Structure 1
């Protein structure tokens, strides 16, 4: 069971874990031992609340497929157990990041004093530049 928050947990049957062979360096161990983990999590079939499902589906993350399945591949460690733990942690972080409620942005206006300072500095700069011109007699 994967604990996301106090109220939200994901059952083991909802997460599909497959052991696959790792790519890259490692010698003979890579060729004969399936240490990498391929995690698949179907958002629509999960027991997550509808609000969180919608947020996860709207994510513009390469790990979320067009069918609504989160795919995570973990092969950073040499043991299957560590890769499994890392993949589950990455899934947990992805779901937690989607659960965060963004603070509503209120548009701000510059103060009257800052507007006056800005215009004054522009006119002073203009005067300085006009003094650099050739003098016309």
Structure 2
């Protein structure tokens, strides 16, 4: 059981975990041991609330396939247990991130004082640059 929030949690049957061989260097251990985890989570078949499902399906993420299945591959650690925890943590993080509503941006104008300060600094910079020029006698 994976806890997403106080009210939302996922049952074990909703998450499909498969052990696969990790890629990359590691010698003979990589060829023998299946330490990487391949996690699959079907959004439409899950028991998530409708708002979660809508937002997850609308999300433009490479981990979400066209069929609405979240696929996460965890192979950062050497042990299967740590990779399993990592994959579940990443799934929970992805689902939580969908429910965070970004703050609306309000258009603002610079104050008159800040505009005059800016123009004064530009004039001052220009004067110092002209003073660096060639001196005519």
Same fold at TM > 0.5: yes
| RMSD of aligned Cα (Å) | 2.5
Stretch deviating more after TM superposition (124-133 or 94-103): 124-133
Hey, what does 2:51 align to over in structure 1? 51
Tell me the distance in 2 between the aligned counterparts of 1:28 and 1:125. 65
Secondary structure (helix, strand or coil) at the match of 2:71 reads strand
Using the size of structure 1 for normalisation, the TM-score is 0.80
Hey, what does 1:109 align to over in structure 2? 109
Hey, what does 1:74 align to over in structure 2? 74
Structure-2 change in CA distance of 1:11 and 1:130 (3 Å): same
Alignment of 1:56-67 (within 5 A): 56-67=56-67
Q: Deviations over 1:27-50 (max 9, x none)?
A: 333223322110011122222222
Structure 2 unmatched runs, 5+: none
Stretch deviating more after TM superposition (58-67 or 115-124): 115-124
Tell me the distance in 1 between the aligned counterparts of 2:24 and 2:122. 59
Using the size of structure 2 for normalisation, the TM-score is 0.80
Tell me the distance in 2 between the aligned counterparts of 1:26 and 1:133. 63
Structure-2 change in CA distance of 1:67 and 1:123 (3 Å): same
